[in-house]
Amino acid sequence: MIRTQRTFPADTTGADLRLSGLCKTFATSTALHDINVTLPQGQFSVLLGPSGCGKSTLLRLIAGLENPTSGKIHLGDARIDQLPPKARNLSMVFQSYALFPHLDVAENILFGLSVRGTPKADRAARLHKVAAMMGLSDLLARKPAALSGGQQQRVALARAVISERPVCLMDEPLSNLDAKLRAEMRVEIRALQQRLGLTMVYVTHDQVEAMTMADRIVVMHAGRIEQVASPRDLYAQPATMFVAGFIGTPPMNLIPRNALPGLDAPANATTIGIRPEDVTPLESGAGPQVTARVMAVEYLGADQLVTLAIEGATLLLRLTGRAGALPATLDLRLPQLALHFFDAAGHRLPSPSDLSHPQAQEHDNDQYA
Amino acid sequence: MTTHVRPHSAFQPDRLLFVIGAWLLALIWILPLAYAIWTAFHPSAYETRFTLLAPLTLENFQRAWNAAPFARYFLNTILLVTMVLTAQIVLCSLAAFAFARFEFPGKNILFALVLIQLLVMPDVLLVRNYATMRTLGLVDTILAIGLPYFASGFAIFLLRQTFKTIPRELDDAARVEGCSWLGLLWRVYIPLARPTMLAFGLVSVSHHWNNFIWPLIITSSVETRPLTVGLSIFATTDSGIEWSIITAATLITSAPLLIGFLLFQRQFVQSFMRAGVK
């Protein structure tokens, strides 16, 4: 049932997707500013950001459904930004699945092959294989309206897979599914991508999807790239205050430096970041001590989130759910190795936390350029 | 009495009025047809005598059929409606697709012109159209009967509205899968607009089957005349007011539409509902 290898046309095997100087301006607004990023062959890249950040526009530029105002897109050595979508050697899965309601499942899956005039025998063989792989063999004669959301999703995936194209684009494909199904499909899509060696470009606003599936996350904000990194690096060393405040549930505490006068920080650091789970109460250890008032407690079962007030700022603290009732004030330690420093422009400065995750910095720089 | 609304047991004067009105309208509508059927199937002696036991006969049909070249008229009308419908579907789906999905300079002005065509009574243009057909050398041809109706503003408007309701992602998906613009129209837009096409096809066929004044003006020979014109000539030149033969001829000419509607009644009504044509 599972095929471990497959062959792609020679000219695109091992082809990275390179975007350089990409801009997109609409009549009333600029959607993308100077996007430069390389999405490596065979890897799962996620474009992550809040709604309106330009991630879907970027995906549509790659697909050829929109034309860039300026800039280039390369797939391997071939420049593809002026080609129509069908000449770009990629497949796409849409948020609404975009199944053709007048065609049955088999015809939907075979739509692209039939358009391109693939021989009938070849079509049948590929349909058989892909339907078996996606668990759709019994549903081939049904119309999309007679399928559940999860089945429709599989048909959309099958249509992308059967094209046997090396690059697959996905635009929030899981957002219409319920939570349980979404968790299953995350695993399935990731497995599919690895099994087929697809170069995946996946758009989402859901950081859980990004963190669990991606080899590499491209965080976008207001039409610009904030950071490109692996999920672990992104979490350990956010390059900007935006990323620090976006990644993590709850996200990193970002505290004005004046609120923590006792802290040893570089002169140009204006904001100090620390993750809620790194703040340790009532324990001895390295790092300055702060006294905070307990404002609110959210009990979540395994964890509880404590909102604390320190002078002029609030601080979120994650404790295990087993900790008992809390006193009105807490003495906290902010471990030196967990601190992140940001300058006035919101960029990361060399921080003590770099030491706890040393390989990340060079990795980032290498890929971001 | 309680204040509950009980639609079936309580006496409702407005409901009664509706029912009476509906029956009355239906009766008025059916009377000429009923009379035509009565006279057509009975000898001429029973044109105004309605006795239940009057003898039935098919002779009127036979005489009517032989009295005028109805076979030729049928052929002309069938050629006409087929040609008009085919041309309308091809031209208007292309135009509607362009209006629905492309951006081009002057798009709004052009579409406004199409809408204006909906407001102009075709009869206003009879003289102008005749002059045009003359210039083209098409007077007294079947093509000339259909040509003014090929670019139907109604069809363009209707199909554009339908095409616009088709989700953008289907369009995107088909393009990523390799469809050209024409392929997109053929494989996605037209199949999804089928109910609208069917509804429009019915309107178009019945309109051109029954159209009279323009064909009367532009045709002058048996080889081109459609049924309606042939029937009127038959009815006037056959001097004698033999109602039984005239009604038999009328039934002959309208039978295909009537039978077709009865056969496909459900499909027609459904596609009208789906297409939103009233």
What pLDDT shows up at residue B256? 87
> What is the rounded distance in angstroms from the CA atom of residue A235 to the CA atom of residue A220?
15
| Chain A residues within 8 A of B167 when measuring between CB atoms | 96, 98
> What is the rounded distance in angstroms from the CA atom of residue A109 to the CA atom of residue A126?
10
Q: Is residue A68 part of a domain?
A: yes
Phi, psi dihedral angles at B212 (to 5 degrees): -125, -55
> What is the rounded distance in angstroms from the CA atom of residue A38 to the CA atom of residue A367?
7
Q: Is residue A57 part of a domain?
A: yes
List residues bridging with A316 in a β-sheet.
A307
Q: Do A101 and B172 touch (CB under 8 A)?
A: no
Q: Do B192 and A85 touch (CB under 8 A)?
A: no
More reliable by pLDDT, A273 or B3: A273
Q: What is the pLDDT of residues B213-226, one digit of tens each?
A: 999 999 988 889 99
Residue A9 pLDDT > 90: no
Give me A124's structure tokens. Answer: 């049948």
3-state secondary structure chain B: CCCCCCCCCCCCHHHHHHHHHHHHHHHHHHHHHHHHHHHHCCCHHHCCCCCCCCCCCCHHHHHHHHHCCHHHHHHHHHHHHHHHHHHHHHHHHHHHHHHHHCCCCCHHHHHHHHHHHHHCCHHHHHHHHHHHHHHHCCCCCHHHHHHHHCCCHHHHHHHHHHHHCCCHHHHHHHHHCCCCHHHHHHHHHHHHCHHHHHHHHHHHHHHHHHCCHHHHHHCCCCCCCCHHHHHHHHHHHCCCCCHHHHHHHHHHHHHHHHHHHHHCHHHHHHHHHHHCCC
Q: Is residue A244 part of a domain?
A: no
Q: What is the CATH number of the domain that holds A152?
A: 3.40.50.300
Task: Looking at the structure, tell me whether residues A207 and A265 fall in a common domain.
Answer: no
What pLDDT shows up at residue B255? 87
Residue A10 pLDDT > 50: no
Q: Do B177 and A115 touch (CB under 8 A)?
A: yes
| Chain A residues within 8 A of B183 when measuring between CB atoms | 115
In which domain, by residue range, is A151 found? 10-236
Nearest to A100 by CA among B196, B195, B170, B169: B170
Q: Which candidate in A89, A94, A164 is best for mutational testing of the B interface (most B CBs within 10 A)?
A: A94
Give me A56's structure tokens. Answer: 């879907």
pLDDT band, residue A352 (cuts 50/70/90): confident
| Chain A residues within 8 A of B178 when measuring between CB atoms | 85-86, 112, 115-116
Which of A178, A208, A236 corresponds to the end of one domain? A236
Q: Is residue A100 part of a domain?
A: yes
Q: What is the pLDDT of residues A287-310, one digit of tens each?
A: 567 788 888 888 888 888 999 998
> What is the rounded distance in angstroms from the CA atom of residue A163 to the CA atom of residue A198?
12
What pLDDT shows up at residue A235? 93
| Helix H or strand E encompassing A160 | helix A149-162
> What is the rounded distance in angstroms from the CA atom of residue A226 to the CA atom of residue A244?
10
Which residue of chain A has the CA closest to B182?
A115
Task: Looking at the structure, tell me whether residues A116 and A203 fall in a common domain.
Answer: yes
What is the number of domains present in chain A? 2
Q: Which residues of chain B have pLDDT under 70?
A: 1-10, 237-240, 274-278
Average pLDDT for chain A: 86
Task: Looking at the structure, tell me whether residues A48 and A98 fall in a common domain.
Answer: yes
Hunting for tokens 């590499």 — which residue is that?
A: A216
- Mean pLDDT computed over A45-60: 92
Phi, psi dihedral angles at A284 (to 5 degrees): -85, 150
What pLDDT shows up at residue A361? 44
State the virtual CA torsion across B82, B88, B93, B94 in degrees, nearest 10.
110
Which residues lie below 8 Å from residue A65, measured CB to CB, with a gap of 6+? A85, B172, B175, B176
> What is the rounded distance in angstroms from the CA atom of residue B225 to the CA atom of residue B219?
6
- What's the pTM? 0.79
CATH superfamily of the domain spanning B63-275: MetI-like (1.10.3720.10)
